[in-house]
Chains A and B, each alone.
Chain A
Amino acid sequence: GQQLNQSPQSMFIQEGEDVSMNCTSSSIFNTWLWYKQEPGEGPVLLIALYKAGELTSNGRLTAQFGITRKDSFLNISASIPSDVGIYFCAGRTSNTGKLIFGQGTTLQVKP
């Protein structure tokens, strides 16, 4: 079946540092999404991408839809302690297709 490979699996960084994580797939996707999950909560949508090459920002977060349509990355600039959580990428092959999730990147920020 379709799989998304998300890396890194975990990151432990100092407050103020920039963070980068990415997802790759063997399949072409027409939608890439990035979610954040905090302990005890459901995932919350951060950014949605719908076009190859699209670069979208949400505050300190920036995500890009890869040109090949098989990858996406998420950058967080100037990290703060409340950025702690698990970040998931998710992809969809068609508008009515199922959403496939990556394994998640656990981010810890040291004040």
Chain B
Amino acid sequence: NAGVTQTPKFQVLKTGQSMTLQCAQDMNHEYMSWYRQDPGMGLRLIHYSVGAGITDQGEVPNGYNVSRSTTEDFPLRLLSAAPSQTSVYFCASRLRPSGGYEQYFGPGTRLTVT
């Protein structure tokens, strides 16, 4: 049981490049989400999914796409990277969307866009 895993750990992109941040969990969690963390801002929700085939937008979805084709994987796509997307990205998962189940976070991906 590896928990929530994220790859890569670090990434540098040039403005305009695209890339996918990977997130996987092996706990059969229904709910998965992506956050970005910026200094002094806490964590802000980008996109989330309550189950395979279902995704929805969070607080700051612009510039990001997600899909959930399997329960295990929830990749985050940057379509055309911008310097404003320089941040630390965390994936989190939760057993069920409702009830007393809480989120567990991955180790993060540190992204720099130049």
Contacts and interface: CB of A to CB of B under 8 A. Distances in A.
Contacts of A104: 40, 42
Interface residues of A, number: 25
Interface string A37-81: 000111111001010000000000000000000000000000000
A42 B41 contact: no
A82 interface: no
Interface size class of B (residues with CB under 8 A): 20 to 34
Contact of B42 (A33, A44, A50, A103): A103
Interface centre among A1, A42, A45, A48, by most B CB within 10 Å? A42
Contacts of A100: 45
Interface of B: 4, 33, 35, 40-45, 48, 50, 58-59, 90, 92, 97-100, 102-108
